Amino acid sequence: MTQTIPALIDFEASCLPEYGQSYPIEVAIARIDGESRAWMIRPLDAWKHWDWSEEAEALHGISRAMLELDGLPARQVLAEVIEFVDGCSVYSDAELDEYWLEVLCQTLGTALPFPIRYLGEWMMDRGYTRPQVVAALEEAKQRLPKEHLAREDAKRLAMVVRLLMESEAA
């Protein structure tokens, strides 16, 4: 299938990799058609002794107890993510998102289901200028000000892409 619709992915993790061995705890995807989904990931047994950061928890507001109670099995999350991005090219604003997808896939013993491309390259390939990108980012931040929540971050990035594409069409 031809990859046509941009989708933006964002992960939250147990901690940043520079602070220890981190694992993904939430993933969200927002497509530019306005659809979005978010999944909390119940930690796998293999991650039982991996690191957890109180600072990261304070940022994203997801506790270990919440993951145990509301998190979905990792294999189910991955399957639903793959289904949700079917027909999309997946982008992120940070290399860490691909890292956490790799951690998830490696732990499940599966190959990466799709590449995650860098959003900046998409912008450069289409010739958007720095002022255009900054203006779109500012407008998206005004409309969706919450940060460090995977669903909100992914939706904000999708909005930036939509705003840029709309400015191009105008």
pTM summary value: 0.93
Of 95, 71, 79, residue with least CA distance to 14: 71
Question: Which of the listed CATH numbers 3.30.300.30, 3.30.420.10, 1.10.3720.10, 3.30.390.30 matches domain 5-165?
Answer: 3.30.420.10
What span, in angstroms and rounded, lies between the C-alpha atoms of 50 and 71?
A: 17
Buried b / exposed e over 158-170, threshold 16 CB at 10 Å, is bbbbbbbeeeeee
Per residue in 91-113, pLDDT tens? 999 999 999 999 999 999 999 99
Per residue in 1-28, pLDDT tens? 344 689 999 999 999 777 788 999 999 9
Q: Check residue 7 and give its pLDDT.
A: 96
Per residue in 137-147, pLDDT tens? 999 999 999 88
The backbone region for 109, taken as left when phi is positive above 0, alpha when psi lies in -120 to 50, beta otherwise, is left
Q: Are 61 and 149 in contact (CB under 8 A)?
A: yes
